[in-house]
Amino acid sequence: MQRIAANKVLIKKGLIVNNGVVTLDEKHQIIDLFSLDDCQTESAGTKFYNGLITTDIKKSTQTIGSYIPDLIDEFMQIGYKGKLLLWEHVNLNDLIITPDIKITEL
């Protein structure tokens, strides 16, 4: 089991979880989603990233000036088995793609 967290987790357009946590099983399938804000303690095994976690977004749509939530094809939900992306150096208030953003597959 792997637990990853970030400043924000984009579930779907219009639903962003602050201090979101994604729990993955050994097959890299999502088995839990929640906010650290709802917890009294944090699991010692949680890996926290600065940035935004999303489901996979096609590289062809990752253009400068695009609003990241508009690019989501698949919602993040329990049972999701696709790629997860970490967006670093993104302005977490406007979520617009800029040249400074670094995107890493988790």
Query: Rounded distance, CA 73 to CA 41, Å?
Result: 33
Q: How many CA atoms lie within 13 A of 56 on its CB side?
A: 8
For the chain, how many structural domains are there in total? 1
Residues 3/61/11/22 CA torsion (nearest 10 deg): 0
pLDDT tens per residue across span 26-73: 999 999 999 988 876 666 789 999 999 999 999 999 999 999 999 999
SS (H, E, C) the chain: CEEEEEEEEEEECCEEEEEEEEEECCCCCEEEEEEHHHCCCCCCCEEEEEEEEEECCCHHHCCCCCEHHHHCCCCCCCCCCCCEEEEECCCCCCCECCCCCEEEEC
CATH of the domain at 62: 2.30.40.10
What average pLDDT does the structure give for the chain? 94
| The predicted structure's pLDDT at residue 41 | 67
Structural domain for 71, as ranges? 2-105
Kindly report the pTM of this predicted structure.
0.93
Percentage of the chain beyond pLDDT 90 is 90
